Structure 1
Amino acid sequence: MAYVSSWVSDAVEHGVLEVDVSVKPRLGMLFMPCELFTSKTLVKLTLGTQVQCDIPSYVSLPSLKILIIETIFFESKDLSDVLIAGCPVLEELFVRHEEMEAHPYYISSRTIEKLSVQYRGCDVYYESGLSFDAPSLVSFDYSDHALYEYTPVNFGSLVEARVDIRYNRKIVKPDISGLMIGISNIETLHLSPASADTISRCVSRHGLLLPMFNNLVSLSFGSNNQRGWKLLPYLLKKSPKLETLIIQSLNVHTSDILIPLNQVKVLHILGYQGTVQELKHLKSFIGRMQCLERVRLELAEDVVVDDGKILQLHSDTVTDRIGTIV
């Protein structure tokens, strides 16, 4: 791998703005020249994959704004306390870890505004945990198993979050309260079906109390089972300012769900197939939305609904307080 190190050194000496090192060395160890970690010009750096990266004790990347980590094993807290600490203007951080142990469990940066953490196929333990300290963060994208604990979680400026947390039987009693509190000030929340199921499990089995989402105005929600759908009424009660509700398809599991009266103004249904059952669910949702102004139906692929059915749908569901069905 010496030739890779030589190429990187030459590139850095020429003042490049971007370096992408994505290799799979035979011995699992990636040795990068010290010059890479002291570049004054580097703006974007990508390191990977499935290797242990030897980070020097001194890192100074004064121009780096985007850092992408692809399945890299770090010693202890080297990611945050050494590498990220040496990036004073870092704005975007992407940490992806697939099928490898010892993924980062502590992510801290005072400057990042966009953070994506994607852990797939990684082994977890009974007391696996994760903490975040990113007071300037605006956008957060997180995919992982629901862990034993999240403490602390400091997202003082967060506006939007995408959460995809999956239940894992190895963690008998996941505690996601810290994560929920950490994202409770957001304005836009996207929950995957797996997240709905996992959060609902934590509510019903482990006594999780959701915080108030007092600033939430847009919620994207879906579930593949009835347990997950039971979370929706609870979330709506905790979101007094919600204006836009995006439902990731109406399916059979919504039949027994009674949502509370709410202030939603825009209802957006994805994957609509035009079935009688869906129409029934749609009417039920609309009937509980006191301020509804707009309904948007986005048809599933390969589904064709003729104009007559659209007109009938409009007639059956729209009252004077609803502006349009798109």
Structure 2
Amino acid sequence: MKDLLSWICTNLRIKDKGIHYLPPRLFASETLVKLTIGTKLYLGTIPPNVSLPSLKTLFIDTVFFEYGDLCCVLLAGCPVLEELTVHHHNFTATPHTIASRTVKRLSVHYDSPIDVDGCSFMSFDMPELVYLEYSHCALSEYRQVNLESLVEAKLDLYPEKNAGERPDVTDLIMGMRNVHILHLSLDSVDVIYRYCWDGLPVFGNLVNLSMGITSKRGCKLLACLLKQSPKLETLIIQDICGYTPAVSMPLNNVKVLHILDYHGTALKLKSFLREFDCLLMVQVDIAEAVEDNVITLQTKRRDLMMLLGVSLPSKCQFKVT
């Protein structure tokens, strides 16, 4: 650590474990552009006069901060920061509030359960953020979600079995209402359907949606999203095994439909396609089962090609892979 400052220029990577009190001068570098810190590292109290005027990329992997030090001290001293990654793996005391007026890309991945201190909330105050990746258990409270400039979001929300309070992701989803491109993991689909207590907002800018409907809940959430997304044109579905004609889809403007890992029959696919009147492009990727051989896959592809050829309007292109 003594020789640390001698080679700091524009990039610094500290990957270690344990307790380290970094030199105060590290937090007042005029030239540092990229900083990586981790893992399972305790830095002590960060000096209050952080000044990193050139830092644009910050990667934090399982670092323990004193309460408020991440946002109120470290991020506050990074006036041009554009890209922030905060990961925590099997570690308590995760930062509950992430705030920056300059960050445009944010990746948050927490795989630890509710903190030992019992906190069960998150806040995102990121008015200039355009890209978000967020993976965490669904929490009971999202106190502030300021994501007015959000363009693309990837959500991986999963239920926490040992959580003391029931999750409520309403404020998180409401705060993402301006998003243009939205990716929902299979767990997120289930969590949003079950725990978005006050319903979905109108996604007035959403044009591209990626999700799975491997359960009836997924099918119902898709119907709700179609209703609340008047500009949606591209829909990417992870299989449709949860689809049932009993859950009808509302009128929609979907023009491009891409179905991944399709396991179902040609008749089920035909029934699903009837829910979309404006299709211009359909692509179906067949899932390969363990017992499938080349002939079986060719037969499945032929059956789907024949079905699409007679089921879709002539103006619609289709592909089976």
* Structures share fold, TM-score greater than 0.5: yes
1:315 aligns with 2:304: no
Instruction: Give 1:301 deviation, angstroms.
Output: 5.3
Q: Secondary structure at the match of 1:116?
A: strand
The residue aligned with 1:66 is: 57
After superposition, what is the alpha-carbon deviation per residue over 1:60-106, rounded to whole angstroms, capped at 9, x for unaligned? Answer: 11111000010111111100111011111100000001111110001
Contact 1:196–1:229 (8 Å) recurs in 2: no
Which amino acid in the other structure matches residue 94 of structure 1? T
Instruction: Give 1:322 deviation, angstroms.
Output: 1.5
* Alignment map for 1:204-243 (pairs within 5 Å): 207-243=197-233
1:82 aligns with 2:73: yes
The residue aligned with 1:48 is: 38
Q: Secondary structure at the match of 2:12?
A: strand
The residue aligned with 2:160 is: 168
TM-score, length-normalised on structure 2?
A: 0.90
* Alignment map for 1:250-265 (pairs within 5 Å): 250-251=240-241, 253-255=242-244, 256-265=246-255
Which amino acid in the other structure matches residue 2 of structure 2? S
Which amino acid in the other structure matches residue 287 of structure 2? A
Contact 2:213–2:240 (8 Å) recurs in 1: no
Q: Secondary structure at the match of 2:86?
A: strand
The residue aligned with 1:102 is: 93
* Separation (CA, whole Å) in 2 of partners of 1:163 and 1:135: 18
Q: Secondary structure at the match of 2:272?
A: helix
Contact 2:105–2:129 (8 Å) recurs in 1: yes
After superposition, what is the alpha-carbon deviation per residue over 1:109-130, rounded to whole angstroms, capped at 9, x for unaligned? Answer: 0000000110002334765101
Residue 319 and residue 94 in structure 1: after superposition, are their counterparts in 2 closer, same or farther (change >3 A)? same
From 281, 295, 305, give the equivalent of 1:294.
Answer: 281
Q: How many residues end up aligned between the 2 structures?
A: 309
Residue 20 and residue 223 in structure 1: after superposition, are their counterparts in 2 closer, same or farther (change >3 A)? farther
Which amino acid in the other structure matches residue 324 of structure 1? F
Residue 289 and residue 177 in structure 1: after superposition, are their counterparts in 2 closer, same or farther (change >3 A)? same
Structure 1 regions of 5+ residues with no counterpart?
Answer: none
1:202 aligns with 2:198: no
* Separation (CA, whole Å) in 2 of partners of 1:262 and 1:248: 19
Residue 122 and residue 30 in structure 1: after superposition, are their counterparts in 2 closer, same or farther (change >3 A)? farther
Structure 2 regions of 5+ residues with no counterpart?
Answer: none
The residue aligned with 2:127 is: 135
Contact 2:213–2:222 (8 Å) recurs in 1: no
Which amino acid in the other structure matches residue 185 of structure 2? S
Mean Cα deviation higher: 292-301 or 229-238: 292-301
Q: Secondary structure at the match of 1:185?
A: coil
* Separation (CA, whole Å) in 2 of partners of 1:147 and 1:314: 43
Residue 161 and residue 271 in structure 1: after superposition, are their counterparts in 2 closer, same or farther (change >3 A)? same
* Separation (CA, whole Å) in 1 of partners of 2:227 and 2:6: 58
The residue aligned with 2:267 is: 280
Residue 126 and residue 50 in structure 1: after superposition, are their counterparts in 2 closer, same or farther (change >3 A)? closer
The residue aligned with 2:10 is: 17
Q: Secondary structure at the match of 1:6?
A: coil
* Separation (CA, whole Å) in 2 of partners of 1:301 and 1:308: 15
Instruction: Give 1:262 deviation, angstroms.
Output: 1.2
- Percent of residue pairs bearing the same amino acid type: 44
Residue 102 and residue 247 in structure 1: after superposition, are their counterparts in 2 closer, same or farther (change >3 A)? same
Instruction: Give 1:57 deviation, angstroms.
Output: 1.7
* Separation (CA, whole Å) in 2 of partners of 1:155 and 1:96: 20
Residue 300 and residue 230 in structure 1: after superposition, are their counterparts in 2 closer, same or farther (change >3 A)? same
Instruction: Give 1:51 deviation, angstroms.
Output: 2.0
Contact 1:127–1:148 (8 Å) recurs in 2: no
The residue aligned with 1:148 is: 140
Contact 1:62–1:88 (8 Å) recurs in 2: yes
Instruction: Give 1:214 deviation, angstroms.
Output: 0.9
* Separation (CA, whole Å) in 1 of partners of 2:57 and 2:77: 13
